[in-house]
Structure 1
Amino acid sequence: MFESFSGSYYLGKLYVEPTNRDLPAIQQDDHERMNAQLYGDDGVIRVDAPLVMKIDTGHLPVLGDTSVPTGTLSVPQSINDGDLPAERNVLVAKSDRARELLQYAGYRFGDDAAVT
């Protein structure tokens, strides 16, 4: 699904769809599988911690949600640049970069209420 792209990112494709949600999400099983596959023993901390995805120039903390269809990245309407929904290239931050970006965003590892 995702391949190494650079020292900091993996590259893959997802169907990106704007919705009425506040936080970006992918299907829960996809989220856990991607976290385990991409981070393995270097995990961000837990398989339910946000993945950090980059679309265009913006980084997004992405959660898992059972209501999102598999292979889809559901994003807030505010991210829609006018050409969504569409299949798009998506970068996923590698573990060190993801940890750094999440800490900059204020994510507190191990705190279930950290991303709301």
Structure 2
Amino acid sequence: MFEQFSSGYYLGVLYVQPGAAEAALNVEDHEAVNRQLYGDSDGIERLDSPLVMKLDGTHFPVRGEEGVPTGTLTVPESLAGDDLPARREVLLARPERAGQLLKFGGWEPADAA
């Protein structure tokens, strides 16, 4: 689904459509991407961590959600342009970059509180 693009991002093509208030992927796709790209050398990954994607210059967290079709990214209306729904290139932040972006956005793991 995603391939290495740069030192900070992976590149993928997803069907992007307007959705709910938060961006989401199919829950199985979300877990597969987390395992493949965000898992560490011991196979440990946080499946509850949001992925961080970039579309049209905007970074946003992406959660797994039931009911989203596989291969589809739903985005909030505020991120949906007039060209959606459509297949689009989407950047996925590499783990180190995603952690920085989530931290700057105020996200903390549930068990850190």
TM-score under structure 1 length normalisation: 0.89
Question: Once superposed, what is the RMSD of the aligned Cα atoms?
Answer: 2.0
What is residue 91 of structure 2 aligned with on the other side?
A: 91
Structural mapping, 1:1-116, within 5 Å: 1-19=1-19, 21-41=20-40, 46-111=46-111
Displacement of 1:74 in angstroms is 0.6
How many pairs are equivalent? 112
Q: Distance in 2 between matches of 1:69 and 1:52?
A: 19
Q: Which runs of 5+ in 1 are unaligned?
A: none
Give the % identical residues. 54
Q: Distance in 2 between matches of 1:44 and 1:51?
A: 15
CA contact (8 A) 1:44 1:98 kept: no
Q: Which runs of 5+ in 2 are unaligned?
A: none
Displacement of 1:45 in angstroms is 5.4
Displacement of 1:24 in angstroms is 0.2
Are residues 71 and 91 of structure 1, via their aligned partners in 2, closer, same or farther at CA, if it must alter by over 3 Å?
A: same
Runs of at least 4 residues off by over 2 Å: 42-45
CA contact (8 A) 1:44 1:99 kept: no
Displacement of 1:48 in angstroms is 1.8
Are residues 44 and 91 of structure 1, via their aligned partners in 2, closer, same or farther at CA, if it must alter by over 3 Å?
A: farther
